[in-house]
Structure 1
Amino acid sequence: MSTAALALTDSATMLRRNLKRMVRYPSMTLTLIGMPVVFLLLFVYVFGGTLGAGIGGPSGGRAEYVDYVTPAILLMTITSAVQGTSVSVAMDMTEGIVDRFRTMSIARTSVLTGHVVGSVVQTVLAITAVLGVALLVGFRPSAGVGGWFLLAGVLVLMSFALVWLAVALGLASGTVEGASNVGLPLVLLPFLGSGFVPTDSMPTALRWFAEYQPFTPLTETLRGLLMGTPVGNNGVLALGWGLLIALVGYLWSKKLFNRESTR
């Protein structure tokens, strides 16, 4: 077999390992789904009436706000899921299993690839579950077939990008405890954008940050695709941010993993 074929086979083995771990420990997946669902219910049923009236629209109130906030909740689902990736990577690095893998005749890249693909699968399952809850509480998207395909592509791209970043953070943290906290800013960033309230309602300094951070164009892209409204330049910005984050996360992860391998 060629080197590429062996690497693919080893990566599939590592992916199977991570999927088995996900099945054996479903509490992690349920936790990753639970937090976005709690925030969705909180913002829709506690704050939705007031915030929806402020946003305006044809109906206003809670019905308007659930359509507005759901894209941000989907992003929060991704950031919550990838936080678990950092913990899983840190566990492997500190518990000695990676040292055991290094003594075996397997492709070095397969260890990280298994984590990445497994986490993307877990994230997609979590997004599907949260979207189902959003539909139950009144979310009514108007996207066409093409919009849904584009939406899926954007969500998978951002999941892939943020998972690679989470892998790098898990490698850099050094401990499981550190890895559990290092991804917290990713969870908070959707709040500091246009996910929950329009940016023009924010103070000047905060509005500047909100408009130029990556989660705002991503939120607006998801919102446009879901509601069938124009995406504009936000789609290009979201794609650019996704590719940049994926590249940085991959290169950083590779550097850290190779450094550990030479020790």
Structure 2
Amino acid sequence: MCRVVDLKQAVLAKNDSAAHTLRAELTARGTTVVNLLSSPGSGKTALLERELGLARERGVPVAALTADLATENDALRLARSGVPVKQVLTDGLCHLEAAMLGRHLDGWLPEDTRLLFVENVGNLVCPASYDLGESLRVVLASVTEGEDKPLKYPTAFGLAQLVVVTKTDIAQAVEFDEPAFRAHVQQVNPGVEVVLTSARGGEGAGILLDRALAVGAGGAVHAPVMAHQPPAHHHHHGEGHEHGPGHAHEHGPGRGPGHDHGPGSRRTHPHSGVVPTR
């Protein structure tokens, strides 16, 4: 079993190295990467479409890369904003990895891009384990998903640097308990900011864009407590994978441009290969 664990740690260490390199390269050209994670159907595509449109109105050079197992539906939606958009089809892989992202950015990302929004695969388990070279990691949850979502997915929420609640226009209809949700978020990630948004109703319009721009300008970034936990030495099952929340990585999250390791320092995923994408 130790050999299996060592292999997984080596795979994730390789990803960390690629993420460090990518972060340094993008920082040098003035590009800030925002990694968006959520469950399927959380509304992150709708929210991102709205934020991209606002960025264009404000004259902020932005781009978006969206990942899915199949279809180019999200890219078609995001392209309506008029900004550069690229679709990555993972052919079954449940997450993006830093090297994969770097390959898709090479030769495509406009040189003047100030913000790059990466819409990760809809999944709160696999993507949580992989640093993409981002400077801001955002986890989204809709009001329809239940107030206990942060407790069910402590790694994803525990490593977030910003938590966004979506679809607040129907919060009353679904009896969303905002205080309970906030309490659960703070339980797994003390001090992280929670913001409310509605792509349809307009609540929180521009807040994601503003937070991303602030990070790009050198503003403070939340440092998740979970990322500083010492690595566990016992086998622990959690979140549907061989190695769950009990296995913390040795390195903490990136604090912005130039750091060796970004968010995702707590590792859980066993995959070792990258599926070719187009």
The structure with the larger Rg is 1
Structure in which a larger fraction of residues adopt strand: 2
Q: TM-score, normalised by structure 1?
A: 0.27
Q: TM-score, normalised by structure 2?
A: 0.25
Structure in which a larger fraction of residues adopt helix: 1
